[in-house]
């Protein structure tokens, strides 16, 4: 952890915050949206209800933070997994660009989607 | 910003022992470590699914209904169940490691690790209920 920190505290802080947000929020969102509602355990909220909900600024901000920071959490962690696990140290730069780049694209796409509603 | 850390710069070739690529499959602790790191893949995939759902919502009621229909397919439900296991594994490992990353003090006394961990799990529970309540209240 120490070496990671010294390499780039900025990415590490995004990784850390994203890790907390993902740990707290994703299981509930995933369970409800992807398992409980599709299986009919819980009645799906209506289109209008979801639309009204997402049009609320606080919901938008929440979803933006969840999506973007989850992606930056992945980017940093996955980068070092490839690094340590598969020893792709010679591809360091390429991997970093691909990982953080994907997170940035997702962030821009979520901004565009959420505020285009 | 320096991305390339020049790993081998201070490690002359003759001192390098070769580590096999799959070094982490032989020991349970290592395998668990890699599994923990790979939970992030499911975190990212779900972030994109969520984004896709918002996009469908944006397209109108019909597209959104199609998206919900796709969520009901057995493949989707199966994949979501697998992803759920990994995401929960992420939460558990993350909360259990929290005291190592964050040292809280009350006065001169350090807050015990167990207290921090319990607080994390409580926050997880409360937030999950709040999310469900906001999403589902009609």
Nearest CA in chain A to B42: A74
Residue reference for tokens 């890699």: B34
Residue B15 is assigned to a structural domain of this protein:
no
3-state helix, strand, coil in chain A (%, to 5): 85, 0, 15
**Sign (positive or negative) of CA dihedral B36, B37, B43, B48:** negative
Residue B124 is assigned to a structural domain of this protein:
yes
Residues of chain B with Cβ-Cβ distance to A92 below 8 Å are: 3-5, 7
Helix (H) or strand (E) holding A84: helix A57-85
* A24-33, B32-41, B47-56, B63-72: least confident range: B32-41
CATH classification at residue B117: 1.20.1300.10
> For position B101, what pLDDT does the model report?
79
* Residue span of the structural domain in which A41 resides: 2-115
pLDDT digits (tens, 9 = 90+) for A14-41: 999 999 999 999 999 999 999 999 999 9
Inter-chain CB proximity B83 and A34 less than 8 Å: yes
Residue B18 is assigned to a structural domain of this protein:
no
Inter-chain CB proximity B131 and A28 less than 8 Å: yes
pLDDT digits (tens, 9 = 90+) for A60-104: 999 999 999 999 999 999 998 888 777 777 788 888 999 999 999
> For position B34, what pLDDT does the model report?
87
> For position A1, what pLDDT does the model report?
46
Mean of the per-residue pLDDT values for chain B?
A: 87
Residue B4 is assigned to a structural domain of this protein:
no
Shortest Cα distance from B111 to chain A (angstroms)?
19
Residue B100 is assigned to a structural domain of this protein:
yes
Question: What total number of domains does chain B contain?
Answer: 1
CATH classification at residue A99: 1.20.1300.10
From CA B38, how far away is CA A96, in angstroms rounded? 16
Interface predicted TM-score of the whole assembly (ipTM), two decimals: 0.89
* Residue span of the structural domain in which B36 resides: 25-136
Question: What total number of domains does chain A contain?
Answer: 1
Residue A105: Cβ-neighbour burial (10 angstroms; 0-12, 13-18, 19+): exposed
Q: What confidence tier does A3 reach under pLDDT thresholds 50, 70, 90? A: low
């Amino acid at each position: 952890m120490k070496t990671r920190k010294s390499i780039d505290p900025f990415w590490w802080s995004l990784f850390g915050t994203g890790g907390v947000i993902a740990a707290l929020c994703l299981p509930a969102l995933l369970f409800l949206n992807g398992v409980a509602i599709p299986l009919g355990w819980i009645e799906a909220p209506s289109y209008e209800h979801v639309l009204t909900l997402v049009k609320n600024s606080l919901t938008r901000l929440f979803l933006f933070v969840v999506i973007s920071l989850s992606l930056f959490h992945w980017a940093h962690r996955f980068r070092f997994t490839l690094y340590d696990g598969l020893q792709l140290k010679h591809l360091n730069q390429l991997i970093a660009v691909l990982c953080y780049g994907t997170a940035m694209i997702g962030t821009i796409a979520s901004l565009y989607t959420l505020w285009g509603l | 910003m320096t991305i390339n850390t020049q790993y081998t710069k201070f490690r002359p070739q003759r001192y390098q022992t070769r580590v096999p690529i799959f070094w982490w499959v032989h020991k349970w602790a290592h395998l668990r470590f890699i599994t923990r790191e790979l939970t992030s893949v499911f975190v990212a995939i779900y972030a994109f699914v969520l984004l896709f759902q918002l996009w469908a919502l944006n397209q109108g009621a019909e597209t959104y209904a199609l998206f919900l229909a796709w969520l009901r397919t057995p493949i989707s439900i199966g994949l979501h169940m697998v992803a759920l296991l990994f995401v929960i594994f992420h939460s558990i490992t993350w909360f259990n490691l929290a005291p190592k990353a964050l040292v809280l003090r009350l006065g001169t006394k350090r807050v015990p690790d167990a207290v921090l961990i319990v607080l994390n799990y409580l926050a997880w529970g409360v937030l999950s209920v709040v999310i469900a309540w906001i999403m589902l209240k009609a």
